[in-house]
Amino acid sequence: MKNLKKIPKFRNEHQERKFWAKADSSKYFDWNKRERALFPNLKPTTEAISIRVPKYLLARIKELANSKDVPYQSLIKIFLSDRVHSELKRYRI
């Protein structure tokens, strides 16, 4: 068993972030004893936006959503997420 360092006390979250940005976590945790963490009720924070789209486009999106049996707003979020992911991958961001 290796000797692990004690995690210091932090005054605030900023101080803790600064510490972990530079610290070697393997000196503080035995990663061979790690356990998978599950957060089943964790939902991403969302923000409402307003976007104007042509009527014909919204109608087509609603048709697609209906054929897939999902709400059209959810389908739009899926489309946006897929496109953003592919663009980031394309430009390696």
Task: Give the integer Cα–Cα distance in Å for 48 and 46.
Answer: 7
Query: Dihedral through CA 42, CA 47, CA 53, CA 59, nearest 10?
Result: 40
Going from N- to C-terminal start, the domains of the chain cover: 13-90
Token pair for residue 27? 């000196």
Token pair for residue 40? 């089943």
Q: Where are the alpha helices (DSSP H) in the chain?
A: 13-22, 55-68, 72-90
In the three-class reduction of DSSP (H, G, I as helix; E, B as strand; rest coil), residue 16 is classed as helix
Mind listing the pLDDT tens digit for each residue in 31-57? 999 999 888 888 888 999 999 999 999
Task: Give the integer Cα–Cα distance in Å for 75 and 61.
Answer: 8
Mind listing the pLDDT tens digit for each residue in 48-88? 999 999 999 999 999 999 999 999 999 999 999 999 999 99
pLDDT, position 91 = 85
The region that residue 46 occupies, defined by phi over 0 for left and psi between -120 and 50 for alpha, beta otherwise, is: beta
